[in-house]
Structure 1
């Protein structure tokens, strides 16, 4: 590790402070907001995949739970958006806790298929329960308000997600350098050895799965209120794969890799629009080349090359 693991955090905060003053128009501000939202989600997912070594191919389902919980509770029942967001996070955490023990008895591709199935079930529910969710067409989401002040406009939302990203990076760095984080890395290395030294493997797996689900749910709620509309695509399989790809490209078991992967893969589709119909091919080619030449991800590869840590 580098001597000061928070140097990257200071750099991120400095960039976030300067960015809204140099971006040329609202399109780029919107893109920056989406980057920050994805970065927080990927931070939670990387704690699960990169540090604990547990795959999840249905993580967008938890994103959908948060988005639809805040949409349904605030629209149909008149709940305050913050209370609806908290309820969504609690529901995602509870579901994750309920399914984690049976799911994490599985290994390898069996575990991947189980998490994939969970995500597909959530996606089917939000598509079919049209009386509550609007079905395939989605549903509008009321604006967020705090102390009587309605949050609207890109600039308001930019500062909110900038704070959320900074706090999430800080919390992740502290978590992985705590005894909890060392236990996660231990069970990633060898579950048998972890058990021998007294690590409660099942408890740690459940805890990190719940934590990553809550990360996703909260940011799903934020995305719903920011966009003002939510559709089932938010919880589909392809979105889950996109999130996992951000983890892998940025670098597994790398906090700053999570941020970099989210930033690059959120911006890349926009940068490839000039290919006019070949965007997907170009996108796949870039990902393939990245994994061939940088299999550990961008940040770990560059860190090892220049002799520094995360």
Structure 2
């Protein structure tokens, strides 16, 4: 294999997840391809969805919880006239409605679902109810009704219409369910609807332009990864410190404030990435320490 990965390799990879795999399946394949157990993912995708999935390898797994992944963009296909048990194409059709919707009605219904809205997530979701995933409760035969949550849909735009199928573009905040958006659109139009296809084209700053197939990741191995120092420098403001401060923060000690809001990367005199940190009332405090890991 061209990209055999030695122990200790760290970095980020953006994968174009294929249909039919869970996010955990992708992690398992990456572990085999990169010959390490230290692989994690950020921003879960359902098995039927394709597109951007961010992987962290080695010490970069510690980055995943600090990435700004709240803003997401998708392309999707919604089928009007059929409601399913899962609000998507993986469920059974439970209701069929007549589709007699004109362009004006459709635009109004999509407009009403744009902006800050209260959305009830699909019952078949990974949200936990008393410690158990909602989808597991549904599969066990329970009736699950989840509480509405406030989300922001910044874009819900019709790209094309072919019969009962709508190709749409969606921009939304984290926690938004596009299949719930499809369900609610069908309800507003009085005909029912479900999600036929979903592709994530961007999550936070990561998009498809640099996304790798799983085959390319297996072929390139470590060469496919964005090295940890490069990833931190690209994603966060940078603070350079001297040898004394480098030793201090590597041992979890606080530094003097840097004067920047939010999270920033701390780099040593040789350009090595030492930590993610932020300014607090009592000085610069580390959130994640990479040095010596």
Q: TM-score range by the shorter chain?
A: under 0.3
- More strand by percentage: 2
Larger Rg: 2
TM-score (norm 1): 0.23
- More helix by percentage: 1
Work out which structure has the larger RCO, using CA pairs closer than 8 Å and 6 or more positions apart in sequence: 1
